Amino acid sequence: MNDQVIEQLNSLSGSLSIESIKDRLKEMIAIPSENPMAGEPRPGHREKEIGEYYLEQMSQLGMAVSSRDAAPGRPNVFGTRQGVGERPSLMLCGHLDTVPAEGYEQAYCAREADGRIYGRGSCDMKAGLACYLEVVRLLQEADVQLQGTLILCGVADEEWQMIGSREIGLNGPMADQCIIGEPSDLAVCPAHKGQHGLFIRTFGKAVHSSIPEHGENAIERMARVVTALSDYNAELASREPHPLCGHGRYSPGVIRGGDLVSAVPDFCELEIDRRLLPGDSAKSVRQDIEKRLESLKADDPGFRYEISDPSWDIPANDVPLDSPVVRSLLESSQLLTGSPVQASAFPGATDAPHLGSPAVVCGPGSLVQAHSLNEYVEIEQLTRATQMYLHAVFDLLA
């Protein structure tokens, strides 16, 4: 950035209104947008209402707005502030949905206390969405003319199957660079592991439990499957790590088998979770499992298993460390904290790999709070996040 751009950036940073950010965040918390998960979308359990709010806010800030349903009542919403040049472009992206609030008392009564804003969605991730609006407000009120185009994007269904970001990946808009304000404690995270889920099924022969020797127990066979996979994490730890993400992970998560205690079960099902590194493939995961399970046939000729199609299929994310948006966010973080900052991996999976744009996770709030029954975001992080996003806008688009 030249001296004139830096001077303008510093001026706008000084005009930042934390009250404006807090007001928008509290208004969004008050609009229930729980993900219906496997249920039917309905008021309070869909993105329609929060999407309409966000569209109105972007429109009031002079953005050209549009909306497109990823599913009925589940919109992706967009706001564009066109630059005077054709490129580059920067997208500030975040999901509109939250996890359910069952058991969370007064989840949608936003509360401010002890330097924090409390409420469902406060950090995951309506805080990031509120910071984006403040960036645009600052640009609009100062009548800043950018060379590149700024896009705000509110996405449906991040907390379940990510149909919103998959739809954007197919139909756009695309951007040269993208920031996703997921709660990273403002760590700059250009990479994260993918999530791959599978069902493993074993089969047996049902008979009365008083004569088990005449049957074949599918649960006992599944026990051998669990044992055969028990050293999988050790093998993954022996492989070459990713510089940010480390090693892949395996976890058996859900098991179901049998219908009646007085019958030998003829079916058992295990759902596993496999966290993928950039470069891992679904094919290699399947081969890993098959290699272990095929060996079980030697001791049990009747052993038969089945591996399902993926129940979860979220790719890993991996943006080069020398990408302009990564460099810009690291630089602004260091300027604000006064300490050297390095990129890291985001612990969870996000919309990033589906969007079709190189996307870096960096946002206010902590994952420790994200799905809790006492969710909050630090107000100080709202200020710093907005300053970091504003710095990226000027650095990449001015």
**Within this chain, do residues 235 and 256 fall inside the same structural domain, yes or no?**
yes
Six-digit token string for 91: 């997208």
Look at residues 275, 294, 314 and tell me which one is the last residue of a structural domain: 314
**Within this chain, do residues 31 and 64 fall inside the same structural domain, yes or no?**
yes
Q: How far is CA 226 from the centre of its chain?
A: 29
Strand partners for 378: 116
Tokens 């990129």 -> residue? 343
Distance from C-alpha of 308 to C-alpha of 228, rounded to nearest angstrom: 18
Question: pTM score, two decimals?
Answer: 0.93
Number of domains in the chain: 2
**pLDDT above 90 (res 107):** yes
**pLDDT above 90 (res 5):** no
Residue 77 near residue 153, CB atoms below 8 Å: yes
**Within this chain, do residues 105 and 15 fall inside the same structural domain, yes or no?**
yes
**Within this chain, do residues 331 and 298 fall inside the same structural domain, yes or no?**
no
Strands 89-95 and 149-155: parallel
Cα 322-326-328 angle, rounded to 5 deg: 105
**pLDDT above 90 (res 168):** yes
**Within this chain, do residues 323 and 383 fall inside the same structural domain, yes or no?**
yes
Question: How does the average pLDDT of the chain come out, rounded?
Answer: 96
**Within this chain, do residues 69 and 183 fall inside the same structural domain, yes or no?**
yes
**Within this chain, do residues 146 and 273 fall inside the same structural domain, yes or no?**
no
**Within this chain, do residues 308 and 326 fall inside the same structural domain, yes or no?**
no
**pLDDT above 90 (res 1):** no
**Within this chain, do residues 327 and 277 fall inside the same structural domain, yes or no?**
no
Backbone angles phi, psi at 216, to 5 degrees: -135, 120
Q: What is the pLDDT of residues 73-101, one digit of tens each?
A: 999 999 999 999 877 999 999 999 999 99
Look at residues 314, 340, 359 and tell me which one is the last residue of a structural domain: 314
Q: For residue 3, what pLDDT is reported?
A: 82
Which residues are within 8 A (CB) of 44 and not within 5 positions of it... i.e. 6 or more apart? 32, 33, 34
Strand partners for 376: 118
Distance from C-alpha of 308 to C-alpha of 198, rounded to nearest angstrom: 6
Q: What is the pLDDT of residues 373-396, one digit of tens each?
A: 999 999 999 999 999 999 999 999
**Within this chain, do residues 48 and 161 fall inside the same structural domain, yes or no?**
yes
Note down the domain range covering 251: 195-314
Name the more confident of 8 and 357. 357
Distance from C-alpha of 86 to C-alpha of 176, rounded to nearest angstrom: 11
pLDDT confidence of 351, banded at 50, 70, 90?
very high
> What's the 3-state SS for the chain?
CCHHHHHHHHHHHHCCCHHHHHHHHHHHHCCCCECCCCCCCECCECCHHHHHHHHHHHHHCCCEEEEEEEECCEEEEEEEECCCCCCCEEEEEEECCECCCCCCCCCCCCEEECCEEECCCCCCCHHHHHHHHHHHHHHHHCCCCCCCEEEEEEECCCCCCCHHHHHHHHHCCCCCEEEECCCCCCCCECEECEEEEEEEEEECECCECCCHHHCECHHHHHHHHHHHCCCHHHHHHHCCCECCCECCEEEEEEEEECCCCCECCCEEEEEEEEEECCCCCHHHHHHHHHHHHHHHHHCCCCCCEEECCCCEEECCEECCCCCHHHHHHHHHHHHHHCCCCCCCEECCCCCHHHCCCCEEECCCCCHHHHCCCCCEEEHHHHHHHHHHHHHHHHHHHC
**Within this chain, do residues 265 and 297 fall inside the same structural domain, yes or no?**
yes
Tell me the longest C-alpha to C-alpha distance in the chain.
86
Distance from C-alpha of 325 to C-alpha of 176, rounded to nearest angstrom: 9
Half-sphere exposure of 118 (CA within 13 A, CB side): 13
**Within this chain, do residues 362 and 372 fall inside the same structural domain, yes or no?**
yes
pLDDT confidence of 323, banded at 50, 70, 90?
very high
Tell me the CATH number at 302.
3.30.70.360
Look at residues 314, 335, 356 and tell me which one is the last residue of a structural domain: 314
Tell me the CATH number at 105.
3.40.630.10
**pLDDT above 90 (res 228):** yes
Distance from C-alpha of 379 to C-alpha of 391, rounded to nearest angstrom: 19
Q: How far is CA 368 from CA 185, 193, 365, 385, in A?
A: 10, 18, 9, 18
**pLDDT above 90 (res 354):** yes
